[in-house]
Structure 1
């Protein structure tokens, strides 16, 4: 017998190509470094495209950016986003130093890429992150790279220090009122006039807030066209550069890796260089302004005459956050003064201190602590150091003689503000609000339907039924009054007929009719605004329902008999006997 063998068509196994990208970086902006970056980009573009097993995924390059952080490296972050999107399988880079000089960032990034199945190749160190000992070698070399960066930073710091010792600035810093011409600071006349005005306003006793408002009203802006703020004005008042002298190393970098800057408050030496440029403010005036600023800072809010201060300003402290209590006014219930923690006005930083202290309570408690019949501001300032509020309704008076007095108080502010005048005003407002049908809860009949029996106002009631919602009006006294309820549709029909309308109109009703008397058994009386009175016969309609058929009645009867079994009868009988025995003869009344 013949043997037949079928030869299948062979399909070649095409190997999927890897998507390969490269990363390049130089940290200094110079012509030589720019050529270096261009050379790296060209080299990796050619390398990837020559390999038949690789698919070109691009070259990402950061120019003039340090490798100690990731925030400012836009191309590096774009490469990571593309990697997360599945556009890259392998990343090539020259060395660990080019990829990152921060060990923590390097390890975090490489491990994240490893979880995504993406390998990083460091060409100089010959490390592949997917290999067994790749991460160990990378960690060791990354630590060397980080320390190298730290060493470079220390060398730069030493060079800057030597410049300061020689009286030379580190850079061409920007300062309002001057501009750089070569190595010299030259006065800008227009800006210098603004600087002199800031100092003069302060010498005239004006606060920084007043100067800010003046400049805003006159349209005076900063060099960048922005509004002058309190912080900008403070910088001008404290900048010794305006005296023709320079102070170097006012700030310093705490860590070369994290790049955090900090004000120099004595941690490092400062360098004061005299007569370096033309002054705008004389040194004597500048020194006086610094002394005055220190004095005003000691006084706190009392030194700022643009604020509405009292003897209590800065004296009442929150026992939770330590902030001062602030003076507030409330006019919706008359003129009401109270004090509460300043953190309440800071968005998202409320310390949680509950309640406020009414001004009347504060004055009363202070007078009792000082042993006075009436409160005396001068006596308070002379004897009381501060008032601490540890919790609501508690005040701790810290006296200047070292004594501490604890006072517990009860607020009657809400009760006191509800005077008869305010109550009458609120009643009139509420009546007008409801009568005009404002809000979803009120209709044209609100406050305009009165009980014919007791004179009380009717209220609107809703009842859910199978046919829908039934709306009717009845006396607000409820079961205490014998008046009848009236359906809203009946009231609308009667009111429309009385006004000569085919359909009810709420606006016309408010204009023409003052009120309606309802609830009597035989009539509804309409009082018009033109003093006319119209009596309309009315009888409460009988309840309408569907009568049960004989078949339905028989069905319900059989259903009841079926459920009333002998066992149930016996159980109910025993329960009733036990109830009679427990309660005695008067068991029904109970």
Structure 2
């Protein structure tokens, strides 16, 4: 009989809703652009939430930031982080220009999202990045967007150049000592006084470092409340604006994509606009300061009076890293003067150059190269251009007449350090130092053998009574307990005293075959004949007697059991 079974149709599994986010951006900060950005955010929020198969994952928006880079776009970085965390499946954006104007950044970002399975949809161009032809179209259109950005940048540069030609600055820049009132720079009296003091200090021969220290000691700060440092002071000294004139286009943007700024060193024309505002520093003073700065720069560290410089400062160069050797001192008791590679003074830095140059050796080698009996500073500066250190203990002198002279020197540092005063101090320290060793006592180094000149050494040899012995064949062993009693008798003491022995006794001389001469520190001497003491067996203690008795009984019991 046939059996008919009804098969119910399985209900289809509900499709997973896509988590959709959107990205919006405007590059110009203005009221109109702010409304445009708000409109984009509202549009995408409504569109995502109305779609039945989409789940709202947020709208990310950057305001007033260029699309030529991604590092400074915080909202863009937040969106990428959400994608990496797996919280987004689809990204909507108005156009390629809104997403990125840099072709490399655009393709790199899109490819990374593609690896994560995340699609980007560009509405204006109707491009989906997960489609087959999506990346090809994206590359072409992104190149157009990048070139459009470059074109806009060139147009802006042209407009700025025309403003410069008319003597109009590009915006209201900040400068210490002035404030803007309308289109005119007006002096701030209390700040102008600081500017004049900076110039006056420089005219008085003070370095920028000395001015920095003065201001720090007096609590003088910048407009933002920060400490005056060398770079700030240098900017003030070089700024022509303090003369009442404006120099336009001192900097320029090298590339519209990287936005890297460079100082204008003649690559583009500059424009000097005279008498635009009241001066703080007169032109003659400013010109003199510029010449003086150039002169000090040529002199290098020698021009800075606040530094402890010598004729060797800036003259000794490391052959490995190229840095100058600096004046230093070895960290020891004598504080020996030396020269070391400047890379060692940088925190965590070292070029690998080994060994310092003692100042004494440097003077000797310079005198030898110059053919003089002693070092002469004037002759050194007149004849030597620089000294290069290619390896340890090698000096290559580059003379001003073009010659190169190589010198190899030998270190005498240890010998120089070991002065008679230091040697005596070390000896005293050794004598007074307490050393906790079984073979070293108050007799160590004080018992001399006149036959061989050696010291007697302590020999405990595992016994109860130690002996003092010499390697010489004719010298007997001196038993320590007998020796102590003899010394006490010689010194007139009831018992031996180590402190008294160390303070009064210079040495004990042994003269073969059995004579001992006791030499006191005050010059007195006393002689005694050493008589070899008889060997005596020590009396057993009660505990030893008990153990021996028990051992004997045990042996006797064991023999009886065996028999």
TM over 0.5: same fold? yes
Q: Is the 8 A contact 1:523 1:538 kept in 2?
A: no
- Which aligned pairs between 1:7-156 and structure 2 lie closer than 5 A? 10-156=10-156
Task: Quote the offset at 1:326 in angstroms.
Answer: 0.8
Q: Which moved further from structure 2: 521-530 or 84-93?
A: 521-530
Shift of 1:520: 6.5
1:410 aligned partner: 410
Please state how far the C-alpha of 1:323 moved relative to its aligned partner.
2.0
SS at match of 2:459: coil
Does the 8 Å CA contact 1:450/1:456 hold for their aligned counterparts?
A: no
Question: Which residue does 1:482 correspond to in 2?
Answer: 459
- Deviation string, structure 1 residues 97-145 (Cα, Å, up to 9, x no partner): 0000000000000000000110000000000000000000000000000
Contact 2:442–2:498, Cα closer than 8 Å, also in 1: no
- 1:259 Cα shift? 0.5
> 1:403 offset after TM fit, Å?
1.9
- Alignment of structure 1 residues 157-236 onto 2, 5 Å: 157-236=157-236
Q: Deviations over 1:433-476 (max 9, x none)?
A: x86xxxxxxxxxx537554696379xxxxxxxxxxxxxxxxxxx
For residue 80 of structure 2, give the secondary structure of its aligned residue in structure 1: helix
Alignment match, 2:558? none
CA distance in 2 between partners of 1:125 and 1:357 (Å) = 70
Change (3 A) 1:192 1:7: same
Give the equivalent residue in structure 1 for 2:347. 347
Distance 2:212 2:166 in 1: 38
> Aligned pair in 2 of structure 1 residues 14, 448: CA closer, same or farther (>3 Å)?
same
For 1:38 and 1:393, the matched residues in 2 are separated by 71
Q: 1:333 Cα deviation (Å)?
A: 2.7
Deviation of 1:57 after TM superposition, in Å, equals 0.4
Contact 2:318 2:390 in 1 (8 A): yes
Decide whether the 8 Å contact of 1:69 with 1:100 is kept in 2. yes
Deviations 1:49-77 (A, max 9, x none): 11111111010000110000011100000
Cα distance change on mapping 1:396 and 1:452 into 2, 3 Å? closer
Please give the alpha-carbon distance, in whole angstroms, between the structure 1 residues aligned to 2:4 and 2:399. Answer: 115
- The total of aligned residue pairs comes to 480
Tell me the TM-score normalised to structure 1 length.
0.75
Give the Å deviation of 1:350. 2.6
- From the superposition, tell whether residues 5 and 418 of structure 1 become closer, same or farther in structure 2 (CA, over 3 Å): farther
Q: CA RMSD in A?
A: 3.4
Larger Rg: 2
For 1:36 and 1:146, the matched residues in 2 are separated by 22
Partner secondary structure for residue 252 of structure 1? strand
Distance 1:173 1:264 in 2: 17
Q: Equivalent residue for 1:473?
A: none
- Residues 448/275 of structure 1: CA separation in 2 closer, same or farther (3 Å cut): same
Aligned to 2:422: 422
Which structure 2 segments of 5+ residues have no match? 447-456, 465-478, 486-494, 503-537, 552-563
Partner of 1:44, secondary structure, is helix
- Name the CA shift for 1:172/1:320 in 2 (closer, same or farther; >3 Å): same
Indicate conservation of the 8 Å contact 1:367/1:373, yes or no: yes
For 1:88 and 1:538, the matched residues in 2 are separated by 97
Offset of residue 356 of structure 1:
1.2
Partner residue, 1:312: 312
5+ residue gaps, structure 1: 436-445, 458-479, 488-518, 548-590
